[in-house]
Structure 1
Amino acid sequence: MMQLNVKDLKMQFDGATVFDHVTFTVQNDDWLTITGESGSGKSTLLKIIAGLIDATSGSITLDGKSEWDYDISTYRQEVSYAVQSAQLFGKTVRDNLDLPFEVRNQTPDVDRELTLLRAMELPESFLDKDVHELSGGQRQRVGVARNLLFPPKVLLLDEISTGLDADTKLTIWKLIQQMQDKYHFAILSVTHDGEEIKHANAIMTLQDGEATIHERTN
C-alpha cells in the first residue's frame, strides 16, 4: 500500500506564516481536494509536496522514505505535478510526449502516446502538430496526457481546469478518473470548481494558516 505522509508542515514567507501544522496521509485511490481563499497556501503546499520548494519545517515521506532521500528525478516520477497552464517543450506534441520516456532512458512508445491523445479527444495527427498552434485547452490536454504516460504514485493537480470550457474539463477529468481507477494512484487537487470537488473523497480547507480535513459522504 502506497503512503504519502505529510507531517507538521509549516511555511513562512518574509516572517509571515502561510500555514502551520499541516498533517495528513494519502494512500492508493485517495482523492484529496484542497480548498481555501486566494493566498491561503494551496498551491504552495502542492509545490512543497512536488519537491519544487522547501517548507520552513516539517516532513514529507513517500512509502516511509523522506522526500529528500530520493534522487530528485526519481521522486518527480513518483509524484507528478500538473499546473494550470501546461508548460510545453520543444516544437511538437510528439516532443512533449516523448519526454517521459527519454528521462527514463526508454524508447518512446507511439502506441501509448496515440492512445492518450485519443482519450483526450485529440486526433492522431496532433502528434506532429506545432505546440505554438495549440489552443489553451489543447495545450492543457497534452500536458495532462504527458503526466499520465507513466502513472505516478501521487498526482498533484494545481487548478488544471481553470479557464477551460466545460467539454474540455469533462474530457480531462474523465480520463484522470479512469486512470486512477486502473492504476490506483492518489490525487491531491487544488480547485475552486464545485463539480470537480465532487470527485474527491476528502476535502482539506486551508484557512487562517490552519488545515481542516473532512471526508465526503456522497
Structure 2
Amino acid sequence: MSILSLENVKYSFENTNILNGIDLKISKGDCVSIIGTSGSGKSTLLKLCSDLISPTSGSISFYEKDYNSYEPINLRKQISYCVQIPYLFGDTVYQNLSYPFKIRKQEVNKDKIIKFMKKLNLDESYLEKGINSLSGGEKQRVALIRNLLYKPEILLLDEVTSGLDSQNAKIVQDLIKDLNEDGVTVMWITHSLEQSESIFNKRIQIEQGKIVKEEILK
C-alpha cells in the first residue's frame, strides 16, 4: 500500500504552470531525496503534499484516501513539513518548542524537548534564548525539533541543512536516518548530490514541473 500517491497533479499560480502532471507513489518507510534546479517545482511539490496548497487538478491520497476526505488539521498532524527558511514565533525558543504540546492540550514534556535539543547539539540554555538572537542554523534546528516532538507518519524536509556547518548537517542527517528506520517516511529536498545518495533508498529528479527521473538507490 502506498502511504502517499499523486495522480496527474498539476499546479498553476498567476497563469504560470509550476507542476505539469506529477505521478508519484511513496511507500511507507521510504526515504526519498528530491533534486532539481531552482524553480523546477520541488518546494511546490512538498507544499501540496503537506496540504498547505491544493492542486489545480489531479489528486493526492494518503493511505489511498483522497486528501479531501481528511479533516485538514488531522492530516497536517500526520504529515509534517519543515521549510527551508524557518518561521519562529513569539519571543523565545521555549515558546516554539512548547507549542506542539499546547495545541494538543497536553502537558509540556520539557524532558522530551531537552532530549531532542541535545540530539541536535543545542543545550538546555537555549530554551530561554530570544529567537532573534539565534543564527540561521540554530533557527533551522529549533524548527526541526518543533516538527519532530510528535512523530509524524511522513516528514517533508526542504533544504533543512542549508544553513548548517558540515558537523551539524551530519547530526541532522543521522537523526533523520534514525527516524526513518523507526518507521517515518521521509521526502527531503537537497541541492547536494552527495547528500541525495547518503541515507536514501530512492531519488527523484524534477525539472520544469515534471519528474524526469526516478532511481532506486539501495
Match of 1:191 in 2: 190
Matched-pair contact (CA < 8 Å) for 1:2–1:28? yes
Match of 1:18 in 2: 18
Alignment partner of 1:7 is 2:7: yes
Q: What value does the CA root-mean-square deviation take over the aligned residues? A: 1.6
Comparing 19-28 and 133-142, the one that deviates more: 19-28
> How far is 1:2 from its partner?
6.4
Q: How does 1:1-218 map to 2 (within 5 A)?
A: 3-182=3-182, 184-198=183-197, 199-218=199-218
- In structure 1, the residue corresponding to 2:21 is in which secondary structure? strand
Per-residue deviation, residues 68-90 of structure 1 (Å, max 9, x unmatched): 22222111111100011211111
> How far is 1:117 from its partner?
0.5
Counterparts of 1:169 and 1:108, CA distance in 2: 28
- Unaligned segments of structure 2, at least 5 residues: none
Percent sequence identity is 35
Counterparts of 1:210 and 1:95, CA distance in 2: 39
Matched-pair contact (CA < 8 Å) for 2:10–2:57? yes
Counterparts of 1:97 and 1:209, CA distance in 2: 35
Per-residue deviation, residues 144-184 of structure 1 (Å, max 9, x unmatched): 111111111111111112232112211211111112222x1
- Unaligned segments of structure 1, at least 5 residues: none
Matched-pair contact (CA < 8 Å) for 1:202–1:213? no
Counterparts of 1:130 and 1:14, CA distance in 2: 38
Counterparts of 1:122 and 1:88, CA distance in 2: 16
Given the two structures, how large is their TM-score scaled by the length of structure 1?
0.93
Runs of 4+ in 1 over 6 A off after TM superposition: none
Counterparts of 1:187 and 1:204, CA distance in 2: 13
Comparing 63-72 and 108-117, the one that deviates more: 63-72
Matched-pair contact (CA < 8 Å) for 2:201–2:216? yes
Comparing 49-58 and 6-15, the one that deviates more: 6-15
AA partner of residue 188 (structure 2): S
Counterparts of 2:128 and 2:163, CA distance in 1: 25
